[in-house]
Amino acid sequence: MSETSAGPATLAEPPTEAGPPRGLAGIAWHWRNDPKRELWFAWYSMIIFYNIFVIVFFIMTHAQPPPHPDWSDAQVVSWFNGNHNGLLIGFGIVFAIAALTVPANALIAYSMRRMSVSRAFAYSYLVMYSLSAFPGMLLLCVVLSVAAMRPGRDPAQTHWLYDFAFLSYIGTMGIFLVGSLVWMLAILLDKNRVLPKWFGYLNLCNALTEVVVAPAWIFHRGVLDWNGLISWWINMVVFGVYTSAFMVLLRTMIRREDFGEGPLPDLPNTLKAKIAALAGAAQ
């Protein structure tokens, strides 16, 4: 990231003396002058990726929530026939934007680099998430696309591809579990106040719900199968809260970033700062 281009900046926010213009000109201004443009690029990549991910997986392909694991060959074939165009077009889009996960993961790794902890945390997180993107997302897209591509294939083969795709997707939860624990440990050990401690604990909650997915390898029906009430629905609520929290917190981190070494400064307009100012005025 542009640590050198930041120069002697000490403010959490970019300098606003001249003030960026509004609208498209404002975007151009930030592109040229904002020392945090690379960080913002990574953050917007994350937002764009997750939005498209939700649209493709939940609306276009219906791969989320996953269909039932105990379906017969005929039901599986019927599901592929019903979602034929959605699967091919949707996963085509995913292949086009999948690389946006790289800057998104890099931003999370950057948050750990900014902390007062070993770089091993950031590097291990980056490697884990980079590798898990293949079995955890791309393999599901490839295999479901293969099954959808030729509707006339033997139903038993189509069913095999169906199981393979969803088990591959479910099976990588362990990597996300360890990734969450690495991030948690970094946040709890950090002295630079990059991210709040409560988010460290929220990482633990997220990791514990990833464990609950493991029984999906055993059960074909009920609350613990791969689309079960406990193993998918409750987990998805936790994951939604967790993901929303880190998107907001990473945005705040970028706004607070001073490209220094020590603790991150607080934003001047936070509730905490306002309370402190009011307390000062009352005295």
Partner 1 sequence: MTDIAQAEQPEAETKKPARHIPGQPDMWVLVLFEALVFTAYFAVYLFHRSAHSGLFLRSQAYLNPWLGTLDTVLLLTSSMFMLHCVQAARAGVARAAMTNACLTALLGLGFLISKVTEWILLTRTGHGFTSNEFFMYYFFLTGIHLLHLLIGFITLGVIMYQLRSPKRGSREIVETCATYWHTVDLLWILIFSLLYVVR
Stretch binding partner 1 (CB under 8 A), from 47-55, 81-89, 149-157, 210-218: 210-218
Is residue 209 close enough to count as binding partner 1 by CB under 8 A?
yes
The yes or no reply on residue 264 touching partner 1 (CB under 8 A) is no
| Nearest in space to 60 (alpha carbons), one of 22, 88, 31 | 88
Number of residues in contact with partner 1, rule: CB under 8 A? 23
Q: Which is nearer to partner 1, 98 or 202 (CB)?
A: 202
Selected binder of partner 1 within 222, 240, 262, 268 (CB under 8 A): 222
136 vs 134: CA distance, rounded Å: 6
By CB under 8 A, which span of 70-78, 133-141, 216-224, 270-278 interacts with partner 1? 216-224
The dihedral formed by the CA atoms of 206, 208, 209 and 212, expressed in degrees to the nearest 10: 160
For partner 1, give the closer residue by CB, 142 or 230. 230
Is 268 buried (19+), middle (13-18) or exposed (0-12) by CB count in 10 A? exposed
50 sits near partner 1 (criterion: CB under 8 A): no
**Residue 208 CB, nearest approach to partner 1 (Å):** 7
DSSP letter (8 states) at residue 137: I
Question: Which residues 175-204 are close enough to bind partner 1 by CB under 8 A?
Answer: 196-198, 200-202, 204
Question: Which is closer to partner 1, CB of 161 or CB of 224?
Answer: 224
Q: What are φ and ψ of residue 243, in 5° steps?
A: -65, -45
Asked if 215 touches partner 1 (CB under 8 A), the answer is: yes
* 219 touches partner 1 (CB under 8 A): yes
For residue 19, the surrounding DSSP H or E stretch is none
Nearest to 264 by CA among 196, 180, 173, 182: 196
Is residue 229 part of the contact set for partner 1 (CB under 8 A)? yes
Beta carbons of 69 and 221 less than 8 angstroms apart: yes
- Cβ 200 to partner 1, closest distance in Å? 7
Nearest distance, CB of residue 234 and partner 1, angstroms: 5
Long-range contacts of the stretch 122-131 (C-beta < 8 A, 24+)? 122/186, 124/182, 125/179, 125/182, 125/183, 128/175, 128/178, 128/179, 128/182, 129/101, 129/105, 129/175, 129/176, 129/179, 130/102, 130/105, 131/175
Round to whole Å and give the CA distance between 212 and 224. 8
Q: How far is the CB of 212 from partner 1 (least distance, A)?
A: 7
Does the protein bind partner 1 through residue 262 (CB under 8 A)? no
218 binds partner 1 (CB under 8 A): yes
The stretch among 80-88, 99-107, 231-239, 263-271 that binds partner 1 (CB under 8 A) is 231-239
Q: Which stretch binds partner 1 (CB under 8 A): 77-85, 133-141, 171-179, 206-214?
A: 206-214
Residues that bind partner 1 (CB under 8 A): 196-198, 200-202, 204-205, 208-209, 211-212, 215, 218-219, 222-224, 229-230, 234, 237-238
